[in-house]
Every structure is written in structure tokens, then in C-alpha cells.
Amino acid sequence: MHSMTLHCPCSNKTISQDIFMSFAPTLHQICSSAFLEYQWIYGLQNLATSANQNSWIRGAPTQLQLLDSICDLVNNTVNNAVYTFLSQVFIASSIMNETDFNTQINASVNQFYQSMFYNFNIQKEILYLIIRVNQLYMAIQSTGVQNAYVNLILKTINVPNNYTIGNVC
């Protein structure tokens, strides 16, 4: 009734956010599917040893193990970020009305989401770069052929002949 005129200093100015907030993140269903379980991957590994050289089964166990590792990384990253966020404290020096409280909490949650997406984008780009750079090695290793064609694109920069950095051309 008197939210605009009531001013009451708080005796406890901080409260852990996990007292009044919770998150229940869910990953893509492939991360919990039977295709990433040890039995499935082990079974594919057994089939791969006798499979044709050009069969998809030869590379499937490695790719599924990579996907399982990515799912574990995402799950751990999300859980750690949620734990860290909920461990932070909410600070209020005086009583707040519900509108101001909701505005502040929503801004905090939106900032948390934005930082999660930003961090995931960085991790995704690093992982993509590692996979692309490692593609040549993986193609040689999985096919046993030294001249294996891979879809590897290297960006080059045209540098003038007389351009030097320190003593290095």
C-alpha cells in the first residue's frame, strides 16, 4: 500500500540468489541419447575393425566420442555458470517494491544469459578451429592414405615482399 513512501533500512542487506532463484537447464536430446553411451560406441568400434575402408562406420566411434565430450563440456560449463551465478548475492540497502525488484532481477538474469552465449560462442569458435586444423591429421589417421583429400581451407594474407617485423621477413 505504501511502497512509494515506505523507507525501511534493511538489517540484512545481502541474500544469496539461490534462496529465491533456480535454473533447470536442459541440453539437446542427443546429449542424453543411447548413441553416446559406451556400449553403442564400443559396438561401433568392433564393427569398424572389419568394415570397408570407406565405410562411415570407421570414423563414427571417434565422432561420437567427440560429440559426447562436447556434450560433457557444455553440461559442465552450464552447471558451473549456474552455480556461480546463484552463489552471488543480491544486495539491497532498503526495501524494494516488487516492480523494482523484478526489474533488477530480470536485468541480472539477462546479463547472465548474454555472458553465457558470448562464452559459448568463443568456445564454439575455438572448437571449430581445432577441428578444422586437425582435419588433415584425422583424415590421414583414419584412412591411412597420405594424400587424402580434406576440405581444409587456409586463409592467406598477401604481404609485400619488403614487409618486415623486426628482423623477420
Dump pLDDT digits (tens) for 85-123. Answer: 999 998 887 778 889 889 999 999 999 999 988 888 888
In percent, the amount of the chain with pLDDT more than 90 equals 18
Summarize pLDDT for 147-166 with one digit per residue, the tens: 444 444 444 455 455 544 44
- Report the distance separating Cα 50 and Cα 75, nearest Å: 34
Instruction: Pick the closest to residue 104 from 114, 95, 93, 96 (CA basis).
Output: 96
The candidate with the shortest Cα–Cα distance to 109, out of 90, 129, 135, 134, is 90
Q: What is the mean pLDDT of residues 71-85?
A: 90
Task: Write the pLDDT tens digit of every residue in 14-50.
Answer: 888 999 999 998 889 999 998 888 888 888 888 877 7
Strand (E) or helix (H) holding 86: helix 60-87
Backbone φ, ψ for residue 97 (5° rounding): -80, 165
CA distance 76 to 91: 28
Question: CA of 1: how far to CAs of 5, 9, 64, 96, 98, in Å?
Answer: 9, 18, 59, 13, 12
Q: Which three cell numbers stand for residue 81?
A: 555458470
pLDDT value of position 22: 92
The count of C-alpha atoms lying within 13 angstroms of the C-alpha of 148, restricted to the half-sphere facing its C-beta, is: 17
